[in-house]
Amino acid sequence: MKTTFLGQAGLLFHKNGTTVMIDPYLSDSVGRTDPNKKRNVPVDTRIFSVKPDVLVITHEHLDHYDPETVARYVTADSQVTVLSPFSVWQKIRAIGGKNNYVLFDAGTMWSEHGFTFSAVPAVHSDPYAIGVVIDNGQHKYYVTGDTLYNQRIFAHVPSDVYALFLPINGAGNNMNKQDAARFAERIRARVVVPMHFGLLDRLDAENFSCDNKRILDVYKEEEL
């Protein structure tokens, strides 16, 4: 599946004419509220032309649910399926229009365009935060969203995850590099992609010690 890392926790997946976007943060909204968290990587405005079929928002923190970014993709005239937990759903559905706003709390499954999306628990400061497992019919991709290492998560994750995407920054109730490595060891995915580094901080993923690690270049489409 073609995969593009959008920085922070943002991802873009594309297969068979269907585009799935997760947690895009393509503004400097956080930097305007906290000068210590200004973007270190400029926004690639080419991403603004993407038309997602499905948009997944894992929780309501500004670097995941950024109204300024969302407004570029979800409008009164778009037809996007928006999957989001209650903390986001109660706000984003106010955009209205022809979009399908699906309440996507942990335990919910949604199938569309040959994909199946499963919301799994995350343990974060937003109590409604979720992760998502995306099954494209060939492989399963598990995006943890923002989360700490918590034992109860593993019972909700399939045993055959192909690619795992997880935070390594160790701040704001996210796993640090050591716990992320332990988490990856439990999931046993063939590919482990670190996220949540470098955009709002100076964290380097090169010293994230993990088998099967693959660091994606921001804005570069890669086959995964």
Read off the DSSP letter of residue 95.
G
pTM check: above 0.85: yes
Dig out the tokens for 10 from the structure: 């943002």
Q: Where are the domains of the chain?
A: 2-223
Which residue is associated with the tokens 């090169």? Answer: 206
List the chain pLDDT tens, one digit each, 224 residues.
Answer: 999 999 999 999 999 999 999 999 999 999 999 999 999 999 999 999 999 999 999 999 999 999 999 999 999 999 999 999 999 999 999 999 999 999 999 999 999 999 999 999 999 999 999 999 999 999 999 999 999 999 999 999 999 999 999 999 999 999 999 999 999 999 999 999 999 999 999 999 999 999 899 999 999 999 99
The 10s digit of each residue's pLDDT in 144-196 is 999 999 999 999 999 999 999 999 999 999 999 999 999 999 999 999 999 99
200-212 b/e (C-beta count within 10 Å ≥ 16 → b): beebebeebebee
Which residue is associated with the tokens 């901080």? Answer: 201
- CA distances to 23, 155, 214 from 107, rounded to whole Å, are 19, 11, 28
Helices marked H in 85-192: 86-92, 177-187
Helices marked H in 71-176: 86-92
CATH of domain 2-223: 3.60.15.10
